[in-house]
Structure 1
Amino acid sequence: MPRISIALALSATTIATGFLVGACSTTGGSSSTASGLKIGSLLPATGDLASIGQQMSASVPLLVETVNACGGVNGQPVTLVAVDDQTDPKAGAAGMTKLATVDKVAGVVGSFASSVSTAAVSIAAQNKVMLISPGSTSPVFTQKAKNGDFKGFWARTVPPDSYQGPALAELAKKRGYKRVSTVVINNDYGVGFEKAFVQGFEKLGGTVVNKNNPVRYDPKATTFETEATTAFAGKPDAVLGVFYVETGSLLLKSAYQQGVSKGVQVMLTDGMKSDEFPGQVGKGNDGKFIAAGVIGTVPGSDGKALEALKKLWQSKKGSSPGEFAPQSWDATALLVLAAQAAKENTGVGIANKIREVANAPGTEVTDVCEGLKLLKEGKDINYQGASGNVDVDANGDVIGVYDVWEVGDDGKIKVIDKVTPK
């Protein structure tokens, strides 16, 4: 997908549509509403996930603009501070620290990479800042939430890989693959997905041929000859790759150049669902895209608010929202709706009301402005998002559907089916 140049991708940018808001702002735990609701975004404008992250980053200010155009939250405009996490845990931790202690935001949309969210969430919880991720899918967050590690300051609008792993296993079985090898990025996302897929595939009678010797690569690696050779060894029916775009493209190109991927189906996940990746893998000596025929899964969007978001996106940007843009829209919506429900612009207030505005009972609303209006009138709502119904459970998780995508001979990615875990 095209690289979008957006000023708010820079860490120094602050947006309050139609208003200039002073430097003073509420702290995460304060009950003051004097300076209006201040939120942040912590998403990758650069780094391994930039091609997807830029679409996500564009979604957040669009929601803020929409909200401010209909009166803001608690009678004042919403301010947005955007930080580029660079797809790097250290940069993410530094960015989260800045948002929490310098900008003093009440809530943050972020991050995309599970490794970055892992680095950020403890900082958010410590400073009583509500963190809602539109893309971190590691199952580790579910267990940590159960343990009380996040103190209620964590949620996500994308389902965990404890669902997507089995969904991809279902797809593998449906395609008739019996022997599958795995190769993953060595972080919370890659290893968590690997575990979920192995469990799901074995339950369906499949064999993961390298289960006892998993192939995991360093996120900062730049060469992948050994990993590619090992993953494709023995000609399995398919190889599951759990990658990010930049590094994953290099690994697949290496596998092709070594001749080890010939005749082996490649299956990928949401971290590679970018229009840019087939071009980055490149073309073979025959002039055809190396990635042609690759299949994968990605959290889908089937929410009641999706069509309205598509129309708005088309009118503002002349295109369709990319991957995880609906989840980013919903994460931002939940922050503002929860603040309005709490009648205070604080992280504590948002954390206390997230589930109340996301779940039944309450009047179902798809329009965030309608939701704000009802909340101002003292009524309960049940927000129905663009990505799905975003019913947030006790661990901050939601359930979703998965799109099956495929790279065509023309190098373009198309959604060809849907799959759900059983």
Structure 2
Amino acid sequence: EITGLDDKDTVFRTVPSDDYQGRALARTLKEKGYDKVAVAYINNDYGTGLANAFKAEFEAQGGEIAGFAAHEDGKASYRSNLAELSSGGADTLVIFDYGDGTGLTILRQALENGFFEKFVGGDGMKSDAPINELGAENLATFVASSPVGEKSDSLDIFNDAYKAAGGDPDAIFVTTSYDAAFLLALAVEKAGGDKAGVSAALREISNGEGEAILPGEWEKAKKLIAAGTAIDYKGAAGDHNFDAAGDVPGTYALFEVGADGFEVMVEMK
């Protein structure tokens, strides 16, 4: 929905669209041998968008969707929903919801009642809450997709600095949030504080042309902008070359639960 907004070129994002995530997740699961799944998704734009993209791609890849149903937020029990979803014979449940909300309730009740053997989540499910509440030992068959930074010098620089500041660089949206803030600051500087010029400036500072600016190089960027020199921000999450809709390609990975939390299992394409 965001991609198609009539926003007069004022909406940009550093995270790839959920359509891309859903389709990449479907392809990755098929490659890893998941042939028949059921899908539970929260009844909002996030859940619906991810679920429909996933379903279309999974079926296009020859996979079978044995159950596909929306659910409402905040119910005490989803056992009847889970029973219906499991009636199709799938051993895997794909959950497009939030790991610190309804998604946690669904995952817990599915485990407690043995409705499914394996579980897959979208980025909303990659939360510490399921690990803290259910225990890593009970999530050996749980995997979740999430955006990750492309391997680069920029990512290494960011990771080292963020760890030194006491942060977890693998936490969801850390690199993309940092890049969004840095890009906007650079664009405001490039536009000389004129909000009418920020959209054009965002494209100019990240179009692949100019002197490279890495995470943290604010003073360097200010001097180059003041001198009229073209710059190209190389983000922690990748090169944010915005398309006509303000979208970026980005990179996702599939995570599994290890002894120390979520660990990258495979990069999704």
TM value normalised by structure 1? 0.59
Q: CA deviation at 1:222?
A: 3.7
The residue that corresponds to 1:94 in the other structure is: none
Q: How many residues align?
A: 265
Once residues 165 and 320 of structure 1 are traced to their aligned partners in structure 2, the CA distance between those partners, rounded to angstroms, is: 23
Q: Is residue 235 from structure 1 mapped to residue 93 from structure 2 by the alignment?
A: no
The residue that corresponds to 2:112 in the other structure is: 257
Once residues 398 and 266 of structure 1 are traced to their aligned partners in structure 2, the CA distance between those partners, rounded to angstroms, is: 28
**Paired residues of 1:364 and 1:382 also in contact (CA < 8 A):** yes
* Per-residue Cα deviation, 1:247-268 (whole angstroms, up to 9, x for no partner): 111111111222212xx32111
The residue that corresponds to 1:203 in the other structure is: 60
The amino acid of 1:388's aligned partner reads: G
Once residues 258 and 405 of structure 1 are traced to their aligned partners in structure 2, the CA distance between those partners, rounded to angstroms, is: 24
The residue that corresponds to 2:253 in the other structure is: 403
The residue that corresponds to 1:324 in the other structure is: 173
The residue that corresponds to 2:200 in the other structure is: 352
Between 328-337 and 410-419, report the one with greater CA deviation.
410-419
**Paired residues of 2:148 and 2:175 also in contact (CA < 8 A):** no
* Per-residue Cα deviation, 1:277-325 (whole angstroms, up to 9, x for no partner): 2222x25xxxx73322211211111254211112222222265452211
The residue that corresponds to 1:224 in the other structure is: 78
Q: Which has the higher contact order (CA 8 A, sep 6+)?
A: 2
**Paired residues of 1:183 and 1:240 also in contact (CA < 8 A):** yes
Once residues 30 and 13 of structure 2 are traced to their aligned partners in structure 1, the CA distance between those partners, rounded to angstroms, is: 29
Once residues 312 and 382 of structure 1 are traced to their aligned partners in structure 2, the CA distance between those partners, rounded to angstroms, is: 21
Once residues 158 and 318 of structure 1 are traced to their aligned partners in structure 2, the CA distance between those partners, rounded to angstroms, is: 20
In the alignment, which of 154, 169, 193 is matched to residue 305 of structure 1?
A: 154
Write out aligned runs for 1:364-403 (5 A).
364-367=212-215, 368-369=217-218, 370-403=220-253
TM value normalised by structure 2? 0.91
Once residues 154 and 81 of structure 2 are traced to their aligned partners in structure 1, the CA distance between those partners, rounded to angstroms, is: 42
In the alignment, which of 273, 279, 291 is matched to residue 132 of structure 2?
A: 279
Structure 1 pair 319/178, CA: closer, same or farther in 2 (3 Å)? closer
**Paired residues of 2:40 and 2:95 also in contact (CA < 8 A):** yes
Once residues 295 and 273 of structure 1 are traced to their aligned partners in structure 2, the CA distance between those partners, rounded to angstroms, is: 8
Q: CA deviation at 1:373?
A: 2.1
**Paired residues of 1:294 and 1:407 also in contact (CA < 8 A):** yes
| Secondary structure, aligned partner of 1:395 | coil
| Secondary structure, aligned partner of 1:276 | helix
**Paired residues of 1:156 and 1:398 also in contact (CA < 8 A):** yes
Structure 1 pair 165/371, CA: closer, same or farther in 2 (3 Å)? same
The residue that corresponds to 1:142 in the other structure is: 3
* Per-residue Cα deviation, 1:99-125 (whole angstroms, up to 9, x for no partner): xxxxxxxxxxxxxxxxxxxxxxxxxxx
| CA-based RMSD | 1.9
| Secondary structure, aligned partner of 1:298 | strand
Gaps of 5+ in 1: 1-139
Once residues 43 and 139 of structure 2 are traced to their aligned partners in structure 1, the CA distance between those partners, rounded to angstroms, is: 22
Structure 1 pair 269/292, CA: closer, same or farther in 2 (3 Å)? same
| Secondary structure, aligned partner of 1:311 | helix
Once residues 163 and 208 of structure 2 are traced to their aligned partners in structure 1, the CA distance between those partners, rounded to angstroms, is: 31
Write out aligned runs for 1:2-401 (5 A).
140-144=1-5, 148=6, 150-210=7-67, 214-245=68-99, 246-261=101-116, 264-280=117-133, 282=134, 289-302=137-150, 303-317=152-166, 319-320=168-169, 322-346=171-195, 348-367=196-215, 368-369=217-218, 370-401=220-251
Q: CA deviation at 1:411?
A: 7.4
Question: Percent identity between the aligned chains?
Answer: 31
Once residues 385 and 162 of structure 1 are traced to their aligned partners in structure 2, the CA distance between those partners, rounded to angstroms, is: 22
**Paired residues of 1:300 and 1:401 also in contact (CA < 8 A):** yes
* Per-residue Cα deviation, 1:209-238 (whole angstroms, up to 9, x for no partner): 23xxx3112233343222222222233142
**Paired residues of 1:216 and 1:227 also in contact (CA < 8 A):** no
* Per-residue Cα deviation, 1:319-353 (whole angstroms, up to 9, x for no partner): 5452211101000011111011111253x232231
Structure 1 pair 297/320, CA: closer, same or farther in 2 (3 Å)? closer
Gaps of 5+ in 2: none
The amino acid of 2:207's aligned partner reads: N
Once residues 412 and 162 of structure 1 are traced to their aligned partners in structure 2, the CA distance between those partners, rounded to angstroms, is: 27
